């Protein structure tokens, strides 16, 4: 559009280019424009449009002028800032991707044994550093293609535990070096996928040959509630034990290399046909067993009825069960003592049994306290009666021996004190260790004259008889234990029995004689139950 010359205000020429010209008077221009608008409205409208276009053109020229007027140094600074910002974004992105790529994968926690047998348990704990474990396998590599021993099929999880043995491989196992490999992946995203590989490898030696076990000698005859001894040879074994059914009895090295000795016990309720054997294991977990050729003789035990009276309950329940509510009948407290505290005492006996010496400490026959009578027998089944009603049944282990009040209590044989103090229903108690798992217990004492760790001689005083614990009258509760299992004291009071049944197998295996000198002992005299 051609701009009307009448609307352009030209600046007069001047030789001073740097001096601004005086603008046309604004009021004059407005007056002239008003006159023209009155004379010709259409021409006025065109003039206004032209003026508006001119203003826009001048504004654009002014903006370009402003940009051209920014110094070159400022434009460089802006450019540098833009480049730095872009570089920061690139470096941040690359660093983030690099971090994700560098995040560790699945971690393995395991310590497989050096030697691995057919049934050696292998346990591997896998944990994802980020995300979840999605797949996991345990493989065995031995020459050919690896064989999968265990696989995780339970879906994604932060932590996975795999358990395996070599048993599924059957006869395909070869003894010698092998590698246990753990393969695993997680679901944490990384820019570049990692190749599948074993994340952990363990070098092991496969050993599937069991130890060689040979029984050398044993007690020829045993009976329920009695003890026996076995001597056997176990080559290439790291541990060995005697077994009576499910009950295990530790054995100890004695004599030539590989020779072991162990005492075992038949419980009072031994069932005919129960296996009696020795078992040896090597470091790889391979096991071998041999039966013990001993004849089991029959043995019967007595039964008794004990009447519980109120004076006894009034004396014993508050003493042994102080937390018993006064509002409840005393007979209920008695049942708690007779059942729960009796069970606690049996558990404590087995815990103490672990403190035995690995060699025999005793010499000869065991001593029965002089001038004592047997008032209660071993493995006697007791029925407790209160006000004419049967309220409980328990088995009494050991012998109850009585003479005079607060009579001296001698050690039955040489040994070491492994327990001295209160023992629930047995009151003040001393337990002596005689080695190889053989122990004697002295309960219901009124006082104790020995402390744990004391080495005592046969006949040395351990304390005085009393009626502490769940005792009716002053007496000694005497018990013989084989690895925590109670056996009849009669056998160990008998020098001939020890010589034939214990020292005999030792002599037959060339290990000497533990029977010691002949010791004459008084046979225990059992009193009728009614006399109590």
**Residue 10: its pLDDT value, please?**
45
**Residue 41: its pLDDT value, please?**
65
- Average pLDDT of the segment spanning 371-393: 95
The Cβ-side half-sphere exposure at 137, using a 13 Å CA radius, reads 11
**Residue 78: its pLDDT value, please?**
87
Euclidean distance between CA atoms 139 and 127, whole angstroms:
18
* Cβ neighbours of 287 (radius 10 Å): 18
Residue 242 contacts residue 215 (beta carbons within 8 Å): no
Alpha helices in 277-395 (DSSP H): 310-320, 330-336, 342-353
CATH topology of 106-206 equal to that of 212-296?
Answer: yes
Tell me which of 67 and 14 has the higher pLDDT. Answer: 67
Q: Is residue 47 over pLDDT 70? A: no
In order, the DSSP letters of 61-126 are HHHHHHHHHS-HHHHHHHHHHHHHHHHHHHHHHHHHHHHHHHS--EEEE----SEE-TT--EEEEE
Tell me which of 8 and 99 has the higher pLDDT. Answer: 99
Residue linked to tokens 């046979």:
523
Which of 167-171, 202-206, 236-240, 473-477 shows the lowest per-residue confidence on average (mean pLDDT)?
167-171
Bridge partners (DSSP) listed for residue 477: 400, 443
Name the average pLDDT for the chain: 86
Question: For residue 47, how far is the Cα from the chain centroid?
Answer: 100
- Average pLDDT of the segment spanning 152-165: 90
Segment 67-87, tens digit of pLDDT: 555 567 778 888 888 989 999
Token pair recorded at residue 485: 């299992």
Q: How confident is the model at residue 522 (pLDDT cuts 50, 70, 90)?
A: very low
Euclidean distance between CA atoms 330 and 317, whole angstroms:
7
Q: Is residue 161 over pLDDT 60? A: yes
Q: How confident is the model at residue 38 (pLDDT cuts 50, 70, 90)?
A: low
Euclidean distance between CA atoms 352 and 438, whole angstroms:
11
Residue 396 contacts residue 345 (beta carbons within 8 Å): no
Q: How is domain 106-206 classified at the architecture level of CATH?
A: Sandwich (2.60)
**Residue 43: its pLDDT value, please?**
66
The CATH fold of domain 212-296: Immunoglobulin-like (2.60.40)
Residue 366 contacts residue 489 (beta carbons within 8 Å): yes
Please indicate, yes or no, whether the overall pTM of this predicted structure exceeds 0.85. no
- Average pLDDT of the segment spanning 332-341: 97
Which of 19-23, 77-81, 106-110, 180-184 shows the lowest per-residue confidence on average (mean pLDDT)?
19-23
- Average pLDDT of the segment spanning 89-111: 87
As a CATH number, domain 303-531 is 2.70.70.10
- Delimit the domains of the chain by residue range: 106-206, 212-296, 303-531
Residue 475 contacts residue 467 (beta carbons within 8 Å): yes
Tell me which of 197 and 31 has the higher pLDDT. Answer: 197
- 461-465 and 408-410: which strand pairing? antiparallel
Tell me which of 49 and 532 has the higher pLDDT. Answer: 49
Q: Which residues of 495-514 are buried (b: 16+ CB within 10 A; e: fewer)?
A: bebbbebbbbbbeebebeeb
């Amino acid at each position: 559009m051609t701009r009307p010359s009448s609307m352009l205000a030209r600046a007069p020429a001047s030789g001073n280019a740097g001096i601004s010209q005086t603008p046309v008077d604004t009021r004059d221009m407005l007056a002239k424009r008003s006159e023209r608008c009155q004379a010709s409205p259409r021409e006025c409208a065109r003039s206004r449009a032209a003026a508006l276009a001119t203003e826009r053109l001048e504004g654009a020229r002014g903006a370009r002028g402003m940009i051209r007027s920014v110094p070159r140094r400022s434009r460089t600074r802006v450019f540098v800032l833009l480049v730095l910002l872009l570089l920061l974004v690139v470096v941040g992105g690359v660093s983030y991707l690099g971090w994700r790529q560098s995040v560790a994968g699945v971690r393995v926690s395991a310590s497989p044994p050096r030697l691995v047998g057919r049934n050696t348990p292998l346990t591997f704990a896998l944990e994802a550093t980020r995300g979840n474990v999605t797949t996991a396998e345990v493989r065995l590599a031995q020459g050919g293609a690896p064989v999968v021993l265990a696989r995780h099929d339970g879906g994604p999880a932060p932590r996975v535990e795999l358990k395996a043995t070599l048993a599924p491989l059957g006869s395909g196992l070869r003894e010698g070096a092998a590698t246990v490999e753990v393969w695993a992946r997680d679901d944490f995203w990384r820019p570049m996928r990692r190749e599948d590989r074993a994340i952990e490898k363990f070098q092991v030696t496969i050993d599937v040959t069991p130890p060689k076990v040979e029984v050398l000698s044993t007690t020829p005859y045993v009976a329920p509630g009695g003890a026996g001894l076995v001597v056997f040879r176990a080559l290439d074994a790291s541990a060995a034990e005697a077994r009576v059914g499910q009950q295990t009895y530790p054995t100890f090295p004695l004599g030539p290399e590989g020779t072991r000795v162990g005492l075992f016990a038949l419980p009072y309720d031994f069932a005919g046909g129960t296996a009696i054997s020795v078992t040896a294991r090597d470091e790889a977990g391979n096991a071998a067993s041999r039966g013990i050729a001993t004849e089991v003789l029959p043995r019967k035990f007595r039964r008794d009825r004990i009447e519980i009276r109120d004076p006894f309950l009034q004396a014993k329940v508050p003493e042994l069960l102080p937390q018993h509510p006064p509002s409840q009948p005393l007979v209920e407290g008695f049942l708690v003592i007779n059942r729960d505290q009796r069970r606690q005492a049996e558990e404590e006996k087995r815990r103490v049994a672990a403190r035995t010496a690995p060699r025999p400490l005793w010499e000869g026959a065991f001593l029965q306290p002089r001038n004592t009578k047997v008032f209660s027998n071993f493995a006697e089944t007791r029925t407790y009666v209160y006000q004419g009603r049967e309220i409980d049944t328990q088995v009494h282990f050991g012998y109850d021996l009585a003479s005079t009040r607060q009579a001296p209590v001698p050690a039955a044989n040489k040994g070491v004190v492994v327990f001295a103090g209160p023992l629930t229903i047995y009151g003040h108690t001393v337990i002596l260790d005689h080695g190889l798992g053989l122990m004697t217990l002295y309960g219901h004492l009124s006082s104790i004259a020995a402390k744990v760790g004391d080495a005592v001689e046969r006949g040395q005083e351990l304390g005085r008889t009393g009626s502490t614990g769940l005792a009716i009258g002053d007496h000694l509760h005497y018990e013989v234990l084989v690895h925590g299992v109670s056996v009849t004291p009669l056998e160990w009071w008998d020098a001939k029995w020890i010589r034939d049944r214990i020292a005999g197998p030792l002599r037959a295996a060339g290990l000497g004689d533990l029977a010691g000198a002949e010791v004459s002992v008084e046979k225990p005299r059992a009193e009728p139950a009614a006399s109590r």
